[in-house]
Amino acid sequence: MNTAERSALAIFLILALLSVGAVSDSDGASSDLVRFSEVNPYTSYEGFSIYNYGSSYVDLINYSVTDGEGTITFTESLELPSKTHITVVKGTDADDWFSSRENVHAYGEDGIVKTGNFSLADSGDDLRLLNGETLVDTVCYGKVSETPEGWNGDPVSVNKNRYILRTAQLDTGTAADWIKTKPGYSNLPFDQNDKIECKIMPFTFPECDGTPIYETLSEADETIYISIYQLTSLNLVALLIDLEERTGEDHVDVSILLEGDVLNYDMSKELSLMCSIVDAGGEVWLMTPGDSDISERYNYFHNKYAVVDGETVVITSENWTVANMSENKANRGWGAVVQSTEYADYMKAVWDNDRLDTFGDTIALKTEYPEISAYEGTLTYIAPDSGYSSHWYDAWLVPVLSPDNSYSALKELMDGAKDYIYSEQLSLGSNYQEIEEDSPIYWMNSAAKNGVQCRFILDDSMGSNMDEAVNFINTTTLVDACTIDGGDGFNTTHNKGILIDGNITWVGSVNWTETSFMNNRETAVVIYSEEVNAYYMEYFMTDWNNNKVSDYQPPAITGTALTDGSHLFTVNEQDTSSYLWTLDDGEPTETTLPKILLDNLTPGDHTIKVTAADTNATAEYSFTVDDEEIAIDEEGGSSNGGLMAGIVAALVVIIGAIAAAFRGRGNKCQ
């Protein structure tokens, strides 16, 4: 690890900490603002970092850290400037990321004295920071026998080869202040209050044929930095070679970070195309090739973006493949060109962080494949002439990253929805299909219970058969869901787009799977603009309305008040042997027909629920019985014949309302 790389990593980690603001002293235990900022128990050079969140320097003499079995004491004057950290470790090694950074001190150096059996247990431990006898800070992780002084609630959860990092703006003395992370992660927050002003040109696949990407890259003057899962378009590679081979003021430096082990895909042709770019003078790095035995930072390097000239960013849900970047039938996806130096700087910092070879998982193409040959076919760039165009809009944005913040960002956005949440996704992870509290569908359903209209589209074009998941959503939640097949319009619905409340749009590479949220490198952007939201809404509604794969209809109840004061309830027929009806909190009544007649109902509000016995699909219907209905029954009475006549009349007139809880939802777009 050279000096420049060490400095870059140190700066990136510090910026991640500074970006969340100063930690406040919530318990008043100490007037200073020195706190634990990192705890790393999993390497041979284990240790901890403390950070000065205050506005002036702190002398650490007489400070100490204890785990209850041993103590690390600062016995000599050691100044910690404002907004800086110090790392204290068991030992140092030039190849170890944690102990080779700047401002690292080993036990026994610079007046840092170890006494007793101080050791960070992998399974769990607690650390306390003291200034003399005064408790300043406490952190607790993993499995511990009892809660230490200064800590509240459960410990911070940990995994092997991860470490914990403070990210909170306030020191609450709880696990909420911390995250578990991994060496090389960027750990950047999602903050809706820190929006970036920009200009945005939205576009969609397959309509664009890659035109906005070609045009943006072809206009580069100095640099192009690409980070992507797949780049197989021959025409795009030809353009990048042309830019790299230009001389003088027209020369453009091209640098690419590429996933080195694409799932179930032979990369040999793609790697030869990358070799052609390297032979032209470009730079190509692979993120953990398939034959590598290195423990990579990310399960998959799945993002799709480019930073151009430090001013413009292109970000998409789609890979830059032959189909997506030509007039061939491509996927359904969304993309955006963003003009903003601030956002470009942000994404370039992410690119630089991922490019570091400090962790051994980023390898130069020809270092990994020294015998590789360039592509043997013809590579000639032909500018697109499809005539596709879009518009530029003034907007604001907030960046989103996996594994940094995409999961928490999505929940925050859904929790704040007021009017609607529309989402179009390639997939829904199997664990999220259970619709428990960790599922985005659960969050959508929670919003729907508060009156937010929720629509959810899943792909079903390649045998994925998401019908079962969608039917489950439709029969157990208030979310309207469907699966779609693009048919003649497009191949896979590969999108990962979200529309909220008319002015919030999510565009990027994040699938709704645990791996995508927690373990992949993914990039997305949340755009704040009514015009941009309306642009994508047109395509969402086209997909919602025009693509159907199932005639399934969930239960929906119709209620009819008859002239004799009784009530007839009918449910649309289901694939079941019988129906179980429950009025309010009473005992269920079984019928073999999809209807039930109830009389002698008391005035007031009631709810009737029906369950299709063989599928457990349910529906509810709320209604009110008023005094006038009861008066009719008391005055007029009824014979069985009169009752049947009333039923027949009611069925002919078809008076009633469809249950509001289901709003006519089905496994189809409507």
Residue whose structure tokens are 């604001």:
396
- 354: nearest Cα among 404, 312, 397, 320: 404
Q: Give the tens place of pLDDT for each residue, 586-615.
A: 999 999 989 999 988 999 999 999 988 876
pLDDT reported for residue 653: 29
Residue 643 has pLDDT above 70, yes or no: no
Is residue 655 very low, low, confident or very high in pLDDT (cuts 50, 70, 90)? very low
Residue 463 has pLDDT above 70, yes or no: no
Q: Are strands 312-316 and 223-228 parallel, antiparallel or unpaired?
A: unpaired
pLDDT reported for residue 428: 94
How far is it, in rounded angstroms, from Cα 657 to Cα 336?
43
Residue 145 has pLDDT above 50, yes or no: yes
pLDDT reported for residue 631: 40
Q: Give the tens place of pLDDT for each residue, 24-63.
A: 544 433 347 899 999 999 877 899 999 999 889 999 999 9
Percent of the chain residues past pLDDT 70, beyond the cut: 86
Give me the numbers of helices (H) and strands (E) for the chain, helices first please. Answer: 13, 37
pLDDT reported for residue 31: 46
Contacts 24+ apart (CB under 8 A), 4-12: 5/356, 5/357, 5/358, 6/100, 6/101, 6/102, 6/358, 7/102, 8/352, 8/353, 8/356, 9/97, 9/101, 9/353, 9/356, 9/358, 10/101, 10/102, 10/103, 12/186, 12/349, 12/352, 12/353
Average pLDDT over residues 118-140: 94
3-state secondary structure of 142: strand
Which domains, from first to last, does the chain contain? 3-181 (2.60.40.1260), 196-368 (3.30.870.10), 396-546 (3.30.870.10), 557-653 (2.60.40)
| Stated pTM of the model | 0.76
Is residue 290 very low, low, confident or very high in pLDDT (cuts 50, 70, 90)? low
pLDDT reported for residue 561: 87
Q: Which residues contact 643 (CB under 8 A, 6 or more apart)?
A: 562, 564, 566, 597
Q: Which residues contact 593 (CB under 8 A, 6 or more apart)?
A: 579
Q: CB 412: neighbour CB atoms within 10 A?
A: 15
Q: Give the tens place of pLDDT for each residue, 493-530.
A: 999 999 999 999 999 999 999 999 999 999 999 999 99
Average pLDDT over residues 170-198: 91
Is residue 555 very low, low, confident or very high in pLDDT (cuts 50, 70, 90)? confident
Q: What is the average pLDDT score of the chain?
A: 86
pLDDT reported for residue 89: 94
- 373: nearest Cα among 280, 253, 274: 274
How far is it, in rounded angstroms, from Cα 471 to Cα 449?
19
